[in-house]
Amino acid sequence: MTPLSQLIEAALFSANRPLTVEELQTLDAEATLADVRTALDQLREHYDFDQHAVELVELAGGWQILTRPAFAQAIEQAQFAQRTPRLTGAALETLAIISYRQPVGRAEIEEIRGVAAGGVLRALQERGLIEVVGRSEQLGRPLLYGTTPLFLELLGLKDLAELPRAEELTIALQPPRPAEPEAEAGADAAASVPSES
């Protein structure tokens, strides 16, 4: 273990979310981003080589230490830790629409699902899985929603580009707007969308 790998291990152990390479860089004023990536690689290989019960996982744009799937059953049976509660069908459908069409307003979500969406949107916002990313230019300036990094964390995705592409789905219906993998651009993109249509 190099000193930087040690620092990174300590930081990842102390955080309750994935940490980005940039955040990890602040641990050592001398370290470059490349140094951080090398140290992350060393740490990951070390966990694998020594057959630790934990592994280094790239998640939601950052890195996190998680237990390996093989130990899930033992942890659950012993009840030392609790599983994250599952999402309801309504919540998953709403997330599916938002993740592919963000930034998207409530009316469009309701049209696709054929059901009022106010309650589900509020619940998803409270769980931190979606957020308001802007306002539409349309009449009444409705709020537009997008997914958060926590959504990626929940699904174990690195970024939105990992979502299956429309062509990969059996039902080959093109969504009106392709999924934009740039999560960060959310707020700015939201403002510019109506001018495209």
Positions in the binding site for a copy of itself (CB under 8 A): 1, 6-7, 9-11, 13-16, 19, 23, 26-28, 46, 50-54, 65, 67-68, 71, 74-75, 77-78, 80-82, 89, 114-116, 125, 132, 135, 140-143, 179-180, 187
Residues in the interface with other proteins (CB under 8 A) total: 78
* Closer Cβ to other proteins, 38 or 179, answer by number: 179
At closest approach, how far in Å is the CB of 102 from other proteins?
Answer: 13
- How would you classify residue 81: left for phi > 0, otherwise alpha for psi between -120 and 50, otherwise beta? beta
- Selection from 6, 74, 58 nearest residue 66 by Cα: 58
CB 12 within 8 A of CB 51: no
Q: Distance between CA 138 and CA 9 in Å, rounded?
A: 48
* Closer Cβ to other proteins, 22 or 111, answer by number: 111
Contact set for other proteins, span 131-170 (CB under 8 A): 135, 139-141, 151, 153-157, 163-164, 166, 168-170
Residue 186 binding: pick among a copy of itself, other proteins, none (C-beta 5-8 Å cut-off by kind): other proteins
Q: How far is CA 110 from CA 105, 118, 166, in A?
A: 9, 9, 21
Which residues are CB-contacts of 81 (< 8 A; sequence separation ≥ 6)?
A: 75
At closest approach, how far in Å is the CB of 92 from other proteins?
Answer: 4
**16 is an interface residue for other proteins by CB under 8 A:** yes
- In a 13 Å sphere around the CA of 115, the CA atoms on its Cβ side amount to 11
